[in-house]
Chains A and B, each alone.
Chain A
Amino acid sequence: MTDKQVSELLGQRVPTFDGEPPDWMDVMRRVRVHRRRRTTLAVVIAAGFVLMLPPVGLAERLVDWFHGSPATPEVRKAIERPDDVPQPVFELLRQQPGVDASRATGVLQIETSRGPVRLWSAPSEDGGACAFIEVGIQDGRAVGSEACHPPIRSDRMQISADLRPIDLRLEENGLIFAIVFGWKAGIDVEIAWSDGSRSRLPVTDGYALAEVKAGVDPIAASAVRGKRILSTLSLVPPQPIPTPPASAYRDVARATTFDGRRVTLSVASSDGKPCEQIEVSGTSGSSASGGCGDMSGPMTVNSDLDAGVLFGRVTVPAKKLRIRFQDGDHADVSVTSGVFLSAVQPPHLKSGHLPTRVEALDSDGKTLATAAVRGG
């Protein structure tokens, strides 16, 4: 039998899907109810539940075994350079904020319905740390999600928590990741679930990690000591804000990226919330991204990693914005309709020269607000 015959035979065996029409509405329904849709997932992880560490004696042994262990080369590589981030934009990403991957160590590990998940932490230049949640290994590199944060040692007790993928290939948010700032021994994390139940998680070095229960949504995460709640954070996602039609957007700023692509920042509003859209046009076509939402402070700074662009919104009455760089340089950017756009150019896309923060200045040069530049 020749290769050609094998090819023909395979060609004859093509499965058909006649009589099964497209169902784009179903796709969009899955988009809308993604977080709630666990019908398939519930079957897969029918035995899924929050896996707390075993009773005290064994738990301590497990924590002791992993806690403080040096990170594997795969994890160090992942922390040093996340996947799919092109140079030189990666240099901009490293701005979050100079993590020392060589000092990454193990914090805690849990068993999940999809295998072990490990949490590592590496110190960052600003005195904080970057936590890396390892959910697997692919092509010699650990895969997972990262979160850089200020120092956990703090006088102010505050819990930070969000949902993270348990399987990056599926991007299912199957993990609860919590950081307790101001953490001390004796403080646990408690998760409240939509079925009325509660789960208590042990905290190691201020971190807690758990798998989401199958078919039940996490409602809130709290830092607790005994029965006393010290800090609570809602885990219920905000209602999605409808995306305005393209015609509703108004162009407010333009820039050219380091590699010659055109960037346009446009704004609109939806349900009273400000919306921003960045469109990047090059020889290979154009792509647009954006979103709508409330302002969480006087100034937000976003970055488009692919284009090396900084953009954001300012609510204080700033005359101009000043971007500060690692090498002491600065660049001034104008504010139009409360938003700004700046394409970072060489040499400020390389380590040692990267943008570090954006300052909002009034007409006298007084600083009204400051925001750190983060990749993302």
Chain B
Amino acid sequence: MDAGELERVYVNNLPAFRRVAAAITGEREAGCDAVQEAFATAVRKRRSYRGDGSIEAWVWQIVVNTARGSRRRSDRRARVNVDAAVQAPACTSAFAIPLEVLTGRQREIVFLRYFADLSYDEIGRILGIAHGTVAAALSGAHGALRQAMQEAPG
């Protein structure tokens, strides 16, 4: 694999990478930076890509891991608001989404599912978990969000 293939992945999927990284880091700028850094890591480590899965899935793993690292550093500086990076478009519902009720893994699965539109299998490969685990975690996330939103005042 050469850097040109990674550039193609970068250009074709950049909005999704940025959405998920921003959601994981809790900060838009940190998310963008994490994506840039993740691709720099991917270029440096492209020798370790073994070709036994898609390049996209391999890069997604690096993006998620880099964003996690960024979030951990932010957590040490200050408690971040996970929801802050998730901008509400003008037409959005009045509901606030209490993402803080989700576990870290649930949040990542939610982001990969809804912000990157990835399949359960793709998410499983990226996070190193089984298809069924993805489904169960997503179901659990839905339940937790539903309950939290129903209990929310107003």
Contacts and interface: CB of A to CB of B under 8 A. Distances in A.
Interface in A44-64: 44
Interface in B1-51: 1-3, 7, 10-11, 14-15, 18-19, 22-23, 28, 32-33, 36-37, 39-41, 43-47, 49-51
Contacts of A31: 40, 43-44
A197 interface: no
B36 A23 contact: yes
B32 A1 contact: no
Nearest to B23: A15
Overall SS of chain B's interface: helix
Contacts of B50: 86, 287, 306
Nearest to B14: A22
B88 interface: yes
B73 A24 contact: no
B115 A15 contact: yes
Interface stretch (A6-14, A150-158, A309-317): A6-14
Nearest to B46: A289
Interface residues of A, number: 42
B136 interface: no
Given A14-B19, A14-B114, A24-B11, A7 B142 contact: yes
A198 interface: no
Overall SS of chain A's interface: mixed
Interface in A268-315: 280, 282, 284-290, 306
A17 B88 contact: no
Given A15-B22, A15-B115, A27-B10, A285 B43 contact: no
Contact of B40 (A11, A30, A44, A306): A30
B34 to A, nearest CB: 10
B93 A27 contact: no
B2 to A, nearest CB: 7
A283 B39 CA distance: 26
A26 interface: yes
B128 to A, nearest CB: 8
Given A280-B51, A288-B2, A10 B114 contact: yes
A171 B45 contact: yes
Given A27-B36, A306-B50, 18 more contacts: A1-B149, A1-B150, A11-B114, A15-B115, A17-B18, A17-B19, A17-B22, A20-B18, A20-B32, A22-B10, A23-B36, A24-B39, A27-B40, A30-B36, A170-B65, A170-B66, A287-B49, A288-B2
Interface of A: 1-3, 6-7, 9-17, 20, 22-24, 26-28, 30-31, 34, 40, 44, 86, 167, 169-171, 246, 280, 282, 284-290, 306
Interface of B: 1-3, 7, 10-11, 14-15, 18-19, 22-23, 28, 32-33, 36-37, 39-41, 43-47, 49-53, 65-66, 68-69, 73, 76-77, 85-89, 91-93, 95, 97, 110, 114-115, 139, 142, 145-146, 149-150
13 contacts: A1-B150, A6-B146, A14-B89, A15-B22, A15-B115, A16-B19, A22-B14, A24-B11, A28-B40, A44-B73, A169-B65, A171-B45, A287-B51
> What are the nearest 10 A-B pairs in CB distance?
A30-B40, A289-B47, A287-B51, A10-B114, A27-B39, A44-B73, A3-B142, A15-B87, A170-B69, A306-B50
